[in-house]
């Protein structure tokens, strides 16, 4: 537990206090940046897999360049039709993405800059015209050592995977995959809740409990459309009420709701073809109120829903806002959302997750998060100092620990 008053200045030393304040304010930026850099993150939502999951564990240059964020940008700048693109091999696709977005255009978007930052982190020249040297570099890596290096470069301790037991490719791998404490599991419910299945609520509850224990899942999770409504009538709500929420209670784990995705608005471009929409968050209100013994991790995809999510978090302690998801993981959005959350919730939220799909992406995603959070936190402490309370390095360390680690640990234990 942090004690924020242990270093409070006494009133009799007003002059000294003022001098301290000035020094601290001048140093604040440096101290905040240092604390952010040295605090190891728990990355609470990714699509990464432990190496034991074989070909599901994606890494390396071809996967980095065929990330769906980059594919969405490719189709805007190259005269190729989606069906022609999908007919190419993965290395041909990566070659085309590199040529289009990195050679013929300046890589200034968030996703393209991210790929540059990854190459740079490995000391590679970022201006090669072809992928040959990058391919040679990644081919020479030994995966276990490479993972250790990537986690170090990203400043992360562990990541949470996305594990759907109804995924036919993934589920058999749980028989053989060696557990790796750096990769924790989250039981994903998308197929169960968003597709047609024949599970009765009783069957579903038993199925979920068996799989959650098998995976040692730290939470259950589902992505939901902008049209999501929690009512007593539809099948999804019935499964939530009678299977998912009781299973979470029995296992004492939270449910993560990621709300606001409009899947397949352009199916031709596959994963890149999902969009976002504003949701009605009254369902969150109902869930938090009607199920006080459940805990909810919530991320919303629409910018317009962010403020009301903070309002609901002020009403319900069993609601933990997390992350700036997907189209919001850009500096301008992260800055705005994090400032709003700090102002409304103090440090009682989880500022970010990476959503990385390719191992090395954690390097740029966490670097960018730290870079954006640094001035936001610095300004927060500057305002506090102006209002009469200056902070110490230990205070800042406590806050960043909460944001990057302990809010998640406490909420999931």
Contact footprint for ligand FIX (CB under 6 A): 47, 223, 258, 271, 326, 355, 357
Which tokens go with 181? 């404490």
User: Toward Zn ion, which CB reaches closer, 131 or 161?
Assistant: 161
Query: Does an H or E element contain 192, and which?
Result: helix 190-194
Buried b (16+ CB within 10 A) or exposed e, 396-407: bbbbbbbbbbbb
Among 6, 10, 32, which Cα is nearest to 372's?
32
Residue 363 CB, shortest distance to Zn ion, in Å, is 18
CA 164 – CA 186 distance, rounded (Å): 8
Binding partner at 236 among Zn ion, ligand FIX, none, C-beta below 5 to 8 Å by kind: none
User: What's the closest the beta carbon of residue 216 comes to ligand FIX, in angstroms?
Assistant: 20
Token pair 């594919």: residue: 71
Q: Nearest to Zn ion by Cβ — which residue? A: 355
199 binds, among Zn ion, ligand FIX, none (CB under 5 to 8 A by kind): none
> Least distance from C-beta 17 to ligand FIX, angstroms?
46
Q: Residues near 355 by Cβ (< 8 Å), separated by ≥ 6?
A: 45, 46, 47, 323, 325, 326, 329, 365
Yes or no: say if 164 and 199 are a contact pair by the CB < 8 Å rule: no
Residue 110, token pair as written in the block: 């968030």
Q: Quick one: 347 or 354, whose CB is closer to ligand FIX?
A: 354
* Chosen from ligand FIX, Zn ion, none, partner binding at 223 (C-beta under 5 to 8 Å by type): ligand FIX
71 binds, among Zn ion, ligand FIX, none (CB under 5 to 8 A by kind): none
In the bound state with ligand FIX, the residue whose beta carbon lies nearer, of 316 and 326, is 326
Q: 187 in helix, strand or coil?
A: strand
Least distance from C-beta 356 to ligand FIX, angstroms?
8
Closest contact distance (angstroms) between CB of 357 and Zn ion is 8
Which DSSP string corresponds to 248-275? HHHHT--EEEEE-EETTSSGGGGGGG-E
CA–CA dist 354, 110 (Å, integer):
13
Q: Which two tokens stand for residue 27?
A: 């140093």
Binding partner of residue 271 among ligand FIX, Zn ion, none, CB under 5 to 8 Å per kind? ligand FIX
Closer to Zn ion by Cβ: residue 128 or 190: 190
Nearer to ligand FIX, 223 or 283 (CB): 223
Nearer to ligand FIX among residue 355 and residue 360 (C-beta): 355
Among Zn ion, ligand FIX, none, what does residue 191 contact (CB within 5–8 Å per kind)?
none
Choose among ligand FIX, Zn ion, none what residue 135 binds, the Cβ cut-off being 5 to 8 Å by kind: none
- Which residues are within 8 A (CB) of 111 and not within 5 positions of it... i.e. 6 or more apart? 67, 69, 70, 73
**Minimum distance of Zn ion from residue 43's CB (angstroms):** 11
Q: Least Å distance between CB 333 and Zn ion?
A: 16
Nearer to ligand FIX, 32 or 117 (CB): 117
């Amino acid at each position: 537990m942090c004690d924020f008053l242990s270093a409070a200045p006494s009133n009799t030393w007003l002059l000294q206090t003022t001098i301290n304040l000035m020094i601290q304010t001048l140093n604040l930026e440096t101290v905040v940046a240092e604390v952010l850099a040295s605090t190891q993150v728990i990355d609470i939502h990714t699509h990464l897999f432990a190496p034991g999951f074989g070909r599901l564990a994606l890494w390396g240059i071809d996967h980095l360049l065929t990330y769906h964020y980059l594919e969405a940008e490719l189709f805007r700048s190259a005269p190729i039709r989606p069906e022609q693109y999908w007919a190419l091999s993965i290395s041909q696709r990566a070659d085309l993405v590199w040529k289009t977005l990195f050679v013929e255009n300046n890589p200034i978007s968030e996703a393209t800059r991210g790929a540059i930052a990854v190459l740079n982190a490995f000391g590679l020249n970022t201006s090669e015209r072809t992928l040959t040297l990058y391919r040679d570099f990644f081919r020479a890596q030994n995966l276990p050592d490479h993972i250790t290096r990537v986690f170090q470069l990203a400043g992360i301790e562990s990541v949470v995977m996305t594990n759907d037991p109804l995924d036919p490719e993934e589920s058999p791998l749980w028989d053989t995959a060696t557990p790796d404490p750096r990769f924790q599991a989250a039981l994903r419910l998308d197929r169960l809740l968003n597709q047609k299945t024949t599970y009765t609520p009783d069957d579903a509850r038993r199925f979920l409990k068996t799989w959650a224990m098998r995976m040692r899942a730290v939470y259950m999770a589902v992505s939901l459309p902008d049209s999501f409504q929690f009512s007593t009538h539809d099948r999804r709500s019935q499964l939530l009420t009678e299977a998912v929420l009781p299973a979470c209670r029995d296992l004492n784990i939270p449910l993560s709701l990621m709300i606001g995705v409009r899947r397949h608005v352009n199916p031709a471009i596959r994963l890149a073809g999902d969009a976002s929409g504003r949701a009605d968050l009254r369902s969150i209100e109902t869930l938090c109120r009607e199920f006080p013994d459940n805990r909810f991790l919530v991320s919303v995809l629409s910018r317009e829903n962010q403020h009301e999510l903070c309002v609901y978090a002020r009403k319900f302690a069993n609601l933990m806002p997390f992350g700036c998801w997907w189209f919001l993981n850009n500096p301008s959005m992260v800055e705005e959302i994090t400032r709003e959350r700090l102002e409304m919730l103090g440090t009682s939220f989880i500022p970010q997750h990476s959503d990385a799909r390719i191992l090395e992406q954690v390097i740029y995603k966490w670097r960018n998060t730290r870079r954006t959070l640094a001035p936001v936190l610095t300004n927060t402490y500057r305002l506090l100092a102006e209002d009469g309370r200056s902070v110490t390095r230990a205070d800042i360390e406590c806050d960043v620990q909460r944001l990057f680690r302990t809010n998640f640990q406490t909420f999931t234990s």
